[in-house]
Amino acid sequence: MPRAFSQIAFTPSVRVAQERYRSREANAAFDLDPNARNVVTGAERQFFLEVDTFFMASTGENGWPYVQHRGGPKGFLKVLDDRTIGFADFAGNRQYISAGNLSNDDRVMLILMDFANRRRLKVWGRARIVHESSEPELIALLEVDSYRARIERGVVIQVEAFDFNCPQHITPRFTEAEFMARIRPQLDELEQLRERAKHQSMPKAAASPLVLGTGELELAISAVRQLTPRIRAYELRRPDGGDLPAVRAGAHLSLPMRLEDGSVGIRSYSISSNPMRRDAYEIAVLKEDTGRGGSIAVHKDFNIGTILRCGMPKNAFPLHGDDRPAVLIAGGIGITPIKAMAQELKQRGAEFQLHYSARSRREMAYWSKLKLAMGERARFYFSDESASARLDVGKVLAAAPDDAVFYVCGPARLIEAVVESAKAHGIPESRVKFERFMAKPVDGKPISVRLARSKLDITVAADQSILDAVLNAGVDAPFSCREGVCGMCATKVLDGEVEHNDTALTDAERDKAALMCTCVSRARTASLVLDL
């Protein structure tokens, strides 16, 4: 039995569009879901009761849609039973467009918004207008306790289908009460510090800088810059002012950080500064509130003077060394290695193009610097401006020189778009290089793994990482990032062929040292033997 919304929304023309844009397979699961999702219970009921903003679309006799905004205190949208919701309608601008539309066509579409938690719920239903003169008890159920104006009419909606929507691109916004609740701990802490300061009679020595990690390369944060509202750049130097190890464009650093649970984790960040610099490295970090905590830790603890003892720079995303032209493609924070590549190529005098896409000018890191430095070599794309202002990967690849080498870094959907477009244009895989923010999700066949030193044979499920299977077997294996970017879990392979999905190991480490990252890599053969 399909979900109710797919029966309503996936019309024949929609299914044709899904086929054309290659999403039909991904959407097919909605047609097989045993839960129709048209009965209001659990999370949906709670969402209705807590929403303070929604938009309702109706259609006029001329076929034109009309969208009406409705807002009020939490609870103004009532759940009358498990298939019915409703709200009170007060006198407004007296155009009565929605009221008139519903008298002709009772079908409505609602989008309920929870900006603070970046959630939205789509609802399809059939609406009817009710009046106190004919249904006083129903009107009484729709009353809003905190708003005592006279109800002009009520709108009651029979729910036909609902579906939670993707949170991407919902900008968090907060009511005054929500904002105060979020900053209350900081306000309380500030008040405690003020009280403590009143009772301090003697000055104290300055606190020692925070020191993190045990790696061989010691770096101090010497500068912090806010590039965009969510991206900060951190300049890293040797505490003694000496030269740093030489790097090439595409290199990254694995940095220690203090996670929320108090443990020290490792996350890898591309070196975005000019590779010719030996006095300082720069990294840029996007704060991801829904991530695994690494970027939050960086934004919280990385301050001027913080000491980071990290591993030596590595490069799993190097530029080619010959004179073939390069096409550089970056999306969002993926500009960090691409910026360094553009700078290295420019200094070489090499032929290259830079294509950089972001949601908006406000969220594009290094935009003004790259625009000034790269001139006509650089093109910038902004998703929020117009369809023509967005990056068209197909056009970029079609217009590229025949022997160009392509480098792409950014969201998974951008990388997949480049890879698929390259296949369509007959571009060999060897000329398409990419770096992911995180490894591909585990998706493979069950495999058998022999742990030689522990003398254990374990089975790794299709949706399980080798690392998790090893830990579940009681073997104390080292790990940190779980994303194939730090190399902490690198393990020697004694037998079997590996499918490498990490971005931490070099080709030499994979081939000559026979290492694999057990957190993300899999086996091409039915079994592996590991030195664990």
Token pair, residue 370, equals 């790259």
What fold is seen in the domain 211-310?
A: Elongation Factor Tu (Ef-tu); domain 3 (2.40.30)
At 261 the pLDDT is 80
Phi-psi region of 99 (alpha: psi -120 to 50; beta: other; left: phi over 0): alpha
At 93 the pLDDT is 67
Contact call for residues 233 and 227 (beta carbons, < 8 A): yes
Going by C-alpha positions, the residue among 216, 291, 265, 270 that lies closest to residue 479 is 265
The CATH number corresponding to 326-436 among 3.90.190.20, 1.20.1250.20, 3.40.50.80, 3.90.650.10 equals 3.40.50.80
Report residues of the chain scoring pLDDT below 70: 1, 93, 148-149, 199-207, 436-444, 480-481, 485-486
At 442 the pLDDT is 60
Tally of residues, the chain: 532
**Segments of the chain assigned to CATH 2.40.30.10:** 211-310
> What is the distance of C-alpha 490 from the center of its chain?
26
At 200 the pLDDT is 64
CA distance 128 to 134: 13
Q: Say whether pTM exceeds 0.75.
A: no
CATH superfamily ID and name for 447-530:
Beta-grasp domain (3.10.20.30)
Contact call for residues 364 and 385 (beta carbons, < 8 A): no
**Segments of the chain assigned to CATH 2.30.110.10:** 37-164
Angle at 506 between CA 502 and CA 509, to 5 degrees: 100
From the number of C-beta atoms within 10 Å of its C-beta (0-12, 13-18, 19+), residue 122 rates as middle
Give the largest Cα separation in the chain, rounded: 85
- The b/e string for 457-472 (b: 16+ C-beta within 10 A; e otherwise) is ebebeeeebbbbbbee
The contacts of residue 294 (CB under 8 Å, 6+ apart) are 257, 259, 265, 267, 481
Residues β-bridged to residue 114: 119
32-42 pLDDT, tens digit each = 878 888 999 88
Tell me the torsion sign for CA atoms 6, 12, 14, 15. positive
Q: What is the DSSP letter of 212?
A: E
What fold is seen in the domain 37-164?
A: Pnp Oxidase; Chain A (2.30.110)
Token pair, residue 246, equals 């030489």
**Segments of the chain assigned to CATH 3.10.20.30:** 447-530
Phi-psi region of 169 (alpha: psi -120 to 50; beta: other; left: phi over 0): left
188-212 pLDDT, tens digit each = 888 888 877 776 654 544 467 889 9
Q: Output 175-184 pairs: Cβ under 8 A, ≥24 positions apart.
A: 175/52, 175/116, 178/116
Q: What is the DSSP letter of 504?
A: S
At 201 the pLDDT is 52
250-260 pLDDT, tens digit each = 999 989 988 88
The contacts of residue 70 (CB under 8 Å, 6+ apart) are 53, 54, 55, 56, 77, 87
Token pair, residue 171, equals 């900008």
Going by C-alpha positions, the residue among 262, 65, 99, 78 that lies closest to residue 159 is 78
User: What's the start-to-end Cα distance of the chain, in Å?
Assistant: 47
At 54 the pLDDT is 94
